[in-house]
A and B are shown apart, each in its own frame.
Chain A
């Protein structure tokens, strides 16, 4: 009984906090109190949270090192931009098509490559990301290397925030379900979980498809916020940026991925004032964090109200 109450209480608090955050920012934007610069940073944060959480499902929870996340993002961005910019369809159609398209791409790449392990999978996914980029560069319909310019700015704060929240809710629930247990067991020991009767390929592909789908969502949001998309934006460095967030947050921690995504975005923005040594500082800070927290900011633990209580109150 106590437990049930706690659960509802926790959910209640979460909903209230998120709603308050959402309303506050929405109010600041409509009232014109939030400078454009901060609005852009917030938008980047939401998009990066979506990317980091979706990649953490693949890299952190399933334990499959994927370096092709920017590729899925590109698929989503281009599909959504084609839908809205060239075919004049509503934004929601673009988003759904982007998620389906990126998910499908995840399925197509996942089925053959997820039989590979470790380094081999990393290389295959890296190659996949590059294939997407080079293909886009050579499609005249989407203007090749110049990319699509003048995409309508549909991704307002409710879309961006909503996108990030939906991603988190779906992925957290997936991880906490029986599917999630199976997925985590694959990370812990693939052979053992196979012996226990888990269809490892099925679950790996499932995680891959879901992760790719939400990367597609992030791509759609990116395209409709930043006005221009070009293949070069989605190069492998973009994949590494997302991977940095996941590893920094801690492999196997959703809250870690969220914190790291927010942290990295804020860090990049904060360092804008030091143009000459910006990238050096960025790298230095990452190195320092990794030396003192080799398991990432959160390790594989989750940050919850309980954690605060435990650390602060000293009771278990």
Chain B
């Protein structure tokens, strides 16, 4: 019995130490100062609430890195991605950033959501390593709310929330000739609320009226009460800024209740789950703003889509394209900087103009936001069809 206890104690102690050692191992494979690789941190959501975004952005980023390495790398060096999962939690994103910075990365790609980028921000700023956010769309990601100063080391390749709301409002008013709209937004995210605000602003400026604003929260599954009310108002456009988890059943229920008005949304809709949950029929006559369309006939986009399909055997969504562009713009920055140095990379990134990305030509403005076009996609029998491209 006593022997048994001793063994148990020993095993427990050894177990704890091995875990601790493994933890150390993660942080100390750093010390190869050899200059023949450039390390790139990939800090994305591979599990948790927004895993679908993170996984696709990771795939896009890794594809870009693979292509660049095949073409001889950057500055004569190969790119080495270091991939980490932040579980869609802000403090985890911060811890991972610290670990990545400890491994001497030149820049970090990700995280995807604005909140997780905010978690990662102080570490990147403190260590002067650029963070390139593929899809963090909140305005205050790159600009400090309190001081109005641009956060030096935080960049992004996506347009910001106000732009998406504005874009859809323009589309609704001009292309759809809508005058009476209802907003039914995700009240539990700043994303949904922000988009709703700018949609309302632009839509009313274009002479439309907002009949009502309803809200749902994350993980809601039954939207019939609010939808019945909306049906009674008889709007000619419904704006539903939110994420696909809630929007898919929402649209399904809306159509079941006999609402035929066009429904508009945002890049949070972009997921294969939309079609599988809502169904082809229900999604007809719904539109969303996005960063790019995989059906774009632009040769660069076609080439990317083919390469992506060949590697992963799936259609690249906007997050994949943005992940790809994040790496490409970083590579452009490295070339401009002339050396793999984080501070010089940051300076080069600030000067980028007319960079030809998959998601459009972009120039980085003084607030580290790209100036670029957006696209409107339409669901037609379960397929995303590119409707129009709107310049800012």
The residues of B that contact A233 with a CB separation of less than 8 Å are 89-91
Main SS of the interface on chain B? Answer: helix
Question: B344 at the A/B interface (Cβ < 8 Å)?
Answer: no
Q: B98 and A37: CB pair below 8 A? A: yes
The residues of A that contact B84 with a CB separation of less than 8 Å are 272-273, 275
Q: A137 and B115: CB pair below 8 A? A: no
The residues of B that contact A1 with a CB separation of less than 8 Å are none
The residues of A that contact B94 with a CB separation of less than 8 Å are 40, 226-227
Q: A273 and B22: CB pair below 8 A? A: yes
The residue that B146 contacts in the complex, of A37, A150, A267, with Cβ under 8 A, is: A150
Q: B47 and A278: CB pair below 8 A? A: yes
Interface residues in B307-354 by Cβ distance below 8 A to A read none
Task: Report the interface size for chain A: residues with CB under 8 A from the other chain.
Answer: 43
Task: Report the interface size for chain B: residues with CB under 8 A from the other chain.
Answer: 51
Interface residues in B89-123 by Cβ distance below 8 A to A read 89-92, 94-96, 98-99, 101-102, 114-115, 118-119, 121-123
Q: Pick the most buried of B23, B87, B89: most chain A CB atoms within 10 A of its CB.
A: B23
Segment at the interface with A among B4-12, B289-297, B373-381? B4-12
A262-291 interface bits toward B, Cβ cutoff 8 Å, 1 = contact, 0 = none? 010011111011011011000000000000
Question: B217 at the A/B interface (Cβ < 8 Å)?
Answer: yes
* Given A272-B99, A275-B83: A311 in contact with B9 (beta carbons within 8 A): yes
**Complex CA distance for A113 and B46, rounded to whole angstroms:** 38
Q: A263 and B102: CB pair below 8 A? A: no
Q: A44 and B91: CB pair below 8 A? A: yes
Q: B85 and A145: CB pair below 8 A? A: no
Q: B189 and A40: CB pair below 8 A? A: no
Q: A36 and B115: CB pair below 8 A? A: no
Question: B392 at the A/B interface (Cβ < 8 Å)?
Answer: no
The residue that B127 contacts in the complex, of A36, A138, A276, with Cβ under 8 A, is: A36
**Complex CA distance for A145 and B243, rounded to whole angstroms:** 14
* Given A37-B95, A149-B118: A273 in contact with B26 (beta carbons within 8 A): yes
Question: A238 → chain B, closest Cβ, in Å?
Answer: 9
The residues of A that contact B146 with a CB separation of less than 8 Å are 150
B139-179 interface bits toward A, Cβ cutoff 8 Å, 1 = contact, 0 = none? 01000111000000000000000000000000000000000
**Complex CA distance for A275 and B23, rounded to whole angstroms:** 13
A224-263 interface bits toward B, Cβ cutoff 8 Å, 1 = contact, 0 = none? 0011101111000000000000000000000000000001
Binding site for B on A (CB under 8 A): 35-41, 44, 134, 137-138, 143-147, 149-150, 153, 222, 226-228, 230-233, 263, 266-270, 272-273, 275-276, 278-279, 297, 311-312, 314
| Closest 9 A/B residue pairs (Cβ) | A146-B190, A275-B85, A270-B23, A37-B98, A273-B26, A36-B98, A270-B22, A37-B99, A226-B91
